Amino acid sequence: MRIVTDPRKCNGCRVCEIICSTRSGGINPKKARIRVISLFPEPAVNNPIVCRQCYDAPCQKICPTKAIIRHDRTRAYVIKKDDCIGCFKCVDACPFGAIFIHPEISTPLLCDLCGGSPLCVAYCRLEALKIVPDHRVAREKRLATTRGLRLKK
């Protein structure tokens, strides 16, 4: 399963960041495993950035200590903290910029899908975040794209 984002629905409220950071120990968006970035200053387009759970993950491949593994049940990537040496090669390798650095303990932060029930998805009132089974990801992206199209007469 993966979290699929729809930037057209995101209003930049950052509730996803707050709820994610509380799960990680305190209200601090810099500790969140999801971040909302503003793509354009006017009109604002907000884009939630979260791990895409790549099939052939560059972050996992580059990790020198093999600290990034797939969780058996959720299939989400997780970082084994005891094996992580804090080299941040995974941060550099992520093509989507979805691995962040913890501001206090200098370790990578990677979305683990909250053990299978992502809180960011549950608390997103505008449904800009959606949990989707792997086999439905492409379909959801197509639907999100076509919803924004208008036919010209």
Tell me, yes or no, whether 79 lies in a domain: no
Is residue 118 domain-resident?
yes
**pLDDT score, position 20:** 95
Q: Are 50 and 36 in contact (CB under 8 A)?
A: no
Cα 4 to Cα 138: distance, rounded to the nearest angstrom? 10
Higher pLDDT, 143 or 18: 18
- How does pLDDT run across 20-35, given as a tens digit for each residue? 999 877 788 999 999 9
Question: Could you give the percent of the chain with pLDDT greater than 70?
Answer: 92
Q: Are 21 and 109 in contact (CB under 8 A)?
A: no
User: Residue 122 domain-assigned?
Assistant: yes
The verdict on residue 25 lying in a domain is: yes
* Within a domain: 38: yes
Residue-number span of the structural domain to which 43 is assigned = 2-53+97-147
Q: Which of 79, 69, 77 is nearest to 107 (CA)?
A: 79
Q: Side-chain half-sphere of 35: how many Cα atoms within 13 Å?
A: 16
Q: Domain count for the chain, please give it.
A: 1
pLDDT tens digits along 137-151: 777 767 766 665 544
For 90-126, letters b (16+ CB in 10 Å) and e give bbebbeeebbbeeeeeeebbbbbbbeeebbbbeebee
In the block, residue with structure tokens 């790549």? 54
Domain presence at residue 76: no
Q: pTM, whole model, 2 decimals?
A: 0.83
